[in-house]
Structure 1
Amino acid sequence: MSSLIFIFLLVIVLHVVLAREIRRNEEIISFDQNYKVTWGDNHVMSINQGKEIQLTMDYSSGSGFASKITYGSGLFHMRIKVPGRDSAGVVTAYYLNSQGNSHDELDFEFLGNREGKPYTLQTNVYANGEGSREQRISLWFDPTTDFHDYKILWNPHQIVFYVDNIPIRVYKNNSNIGVGYPTKSMQIIASLWNGDWATDGGQTKINWTYAPFKANFQGFDVSGCQSQSLNIDQNCLSNSYWWNDKQYWQLDLIAQKQYENVKQKYMNYDYCKDRQRYPIAPLECLH
């Protein structure tokens, strides 16, 4: 029993240390060190000497930024506050994306809604150009009133999406049984854009009288392995990077319980359970 208590306390300490280290780096690294504006230049505002970036969208344009280089593994994170008030049809995105055909992609997409109705957070995974792996949750807080942490752990064994250090999705590497898994170097991207499909299946459109819509981002340090080639540099798969260490090959006991709680209480769509789209569940859903 005492050994179990020790392990439990050790896991908690590791989580706290990691969160503090990330927060410390956030306060040091400015936007220009790792990122660049990619579109909508006049719709991007730098705040607090580059420690915060605000993207805006109006009828003329949205906006976005991306990392200057690509990565092959890591723990990627951003603190985000999404547009408030009536945001139906407005999509705030934070994701990893590869270049070229048959691309890989890991998505956070915040699907706006009519004022007073909850945001939906959608995640998706593309591997070798194949996506349609959407999961959606209702957040347990209002993402418009303050910043929250959104993270993607990507290593050779699993991909985990986190909200405020709570895992909300796990995608395992099952390439040994023919399931696609990202193998290409990916760029970090954030954007605010017109997604008329996003609310009520596209039936609820943007109310432009509420424009400009604004999303704010903080935390521009990057804990990732740089990979300059199209395919991941093999070096990025090494266990010398802490995020590839064995302890990150699967969720620990605390994180697993948190994940099960999210699936039970907050998940409102899972492609694995959509028999209209998939009469036979995709192979990765069975493992």
Structure 2
Amino acid sequence: MANPHAKGKEESRAKQGTHRQICQPKAKACRTLPRRFYGRKIPVATGEQASTREVVQMRAWSVAADQVVNFCGEAFSAWDPTHLRVLQNGSQLQLVLDQISGSGLGSQNEYMFGHFEIQMKVAPGNTAGTVTSFYLSSVPMTSENQRDELDFEFLGNASGEPYLLQTNIFTNGSGYKEQRVVPWFDPTASFHTYSISWTKQQVIFAVDGTAIRTFVNNEASGQLYMDRHPMGAFLSIWDGDDWATLGGLVKINWTASPFVASYKGYKADACIFDGNVSACAHSPFAANVYADGLFDLSSLSSVEDNFMVYNYCDDKDRFEVLPPECTLAK
């Protein structure tokens, strides 16, 4: 929903000087966030820039599975297994990005509705230009113009500056619904849990059980929703330096590579798609009650007020007419 107080918030922030403090949603611990990391001063790449390389990678998975990897009891097809390290009998893995290649995994199962989570630790140091992700996508199972997708993407930054955690959504080919937050923790120091709950009524993105974003099904009001196509689960690390850091102004410093992202604890408590959309649509995983109690939704306003540095629904410079969901109930 468009924020009616956005202008007032911007004016208030301008009066605060060049820095603002951000605090944990449930604690008083604060740290200083440089002004250049919030507001519309952060360039946002066009969707074409952001998605091109990732789409190429997903299509590579559809052509041939270089290697089948058992990760947390699930079968995944690996893209460039030379940049993949499987540890602890498949309970943990690392994806590696260097000047030669990145890497990724795509689940062999396809799903419709359910709860998906992963524990992830991103690369430390100068990671500008890198993108580390966990997401659900209907591509390559569907064409690009039918694409459904739910993204967690860590956008790297220069040493000493914070990562940005971007969520993005595509519905039946319509996408580029980015929100960005600065994590209230160091995502390089330890594992944290990133989860996506996808029901017929809404999608909830959460970090360590704290909701950071919702996307409500408002199809009755003309908004598209991801309830037509199954999606697979994907993990990846890749070179996104044409858009990821300050809109592509800061490039990857390859002398800082290899960049290593670590993953463990993958879970998919979801309806496995067998070709029958109706079966999954009427499964317990599709019901909103399924997500009740999994997340603390009271944190949403705190995240928006204290951690969000970009919301596409506030970007009137980018959109002459805001997307319909921006004016509908959350």
CA distance in 2 between counterparts of 1:65 and 1:246 reads 30
Structure 1 residues 239 and 40: alpha-carbon distance in aligned structure 2, compared to 1, 3 A threshold: closer
Given candidates 281, 284, 287, the residue that maps to 2:322 is 281
Q: Is the CA contact (8 Å cut-off) linking 2:77 and 2:108 kept in structure 1?
A: no
Partner of 1:246: 289
Partner of 1:13: none
1:194 aligns with 2:236: no
Given candidates 83, 100, 109, the residue that maps to 1:60 is 100
CA distance in 2 between counterparts of 1:256 and 1:46 reads 35
1:46 aligns with 2:86: yes
Secondary structure, aligned partner of 2:73: helix
1:225 aligns with 2:266: no
Aligned Cα root-mean-square deviation (Å): 1.8
Once structures 1 and 2 are overlaid, which stretch shifts more, 32-41 or 168-177? 32-41
Q: Write the mapping of 1:72-111 to structure 2, written as runs, cut at 5 A.
A: 72-98=112-138, 99-101=141-143, 102-111=146-155
Tell me how far 1:237 sits from its aligned partner: 2.1
Q: Write the mapping of 1:8-157 to structure 2, written as runs, cut at 5 A.
A: 31=71, 33-98=73-138, 99-101=141-143, 102-157=146-201
Q: How many residues align?
A: 253
CA distance in 2 between counterparts of 1:240 and 1:114 reads 44
CA distance in 2 between counterparts of 1:33 and 1:255 reads 28
Structure 1 residues 247 and 44: alpha-carbon distance in aligned structure 2, compared to 1, 3 A threshold: closer
CA distance in 2 between counterparts of 1:262 and 1:35 reads 35
Q: Is the CA contact (8 Å cut-off) linking 2:135 and 2:151 kept in structure 1?
A: yes
Q: Is the CA contact (8 Å cut-off) linking 2:117 and 2:195 kept in structure 1?
A: yes
TM normalised by structure 2 equals: 0.73
TM normalised by structure 1 equals: 0.84
Per-residue CA distance 1:38-97 (angstroms, 9 max, x = gap): 211111011111110000011100000111110000000000000111100010011001
Q: Is the CA contact (8 Å cut-off) linking 1:92 and 1:111 kept in structure 2?
A: yes
CA distance in 1 between counterparts of 2:274 and 2:187 reads 34
- Which residue identity is paired with 2:307? Y
Partner of 2:45: none
**Which residues of structure 2 form unaligned runs of 5+?**
1-69
Q: Is the CA contact (8 Å cut-off) linking 2:148 and 2:172 kept in structure 1?
A: yes
**Which residues of structure 1 form unaligned runs of 5+?**
1-29
Partner of 2:204: 160
CA distance in 2 between counterparts of 1:181 and 1:240 reads 19
- Which residue identity is paired with 2:304? K
Secondary structure, aligned partner of 1:128: coil
Per-residue CA distance 1:163-183 (angstroms, 9 max, x = gap): 110111100001111111012
1:185 aligns with 2:185: no
Percentage of identical aligned residues? 39
Partner of 1:213: 259
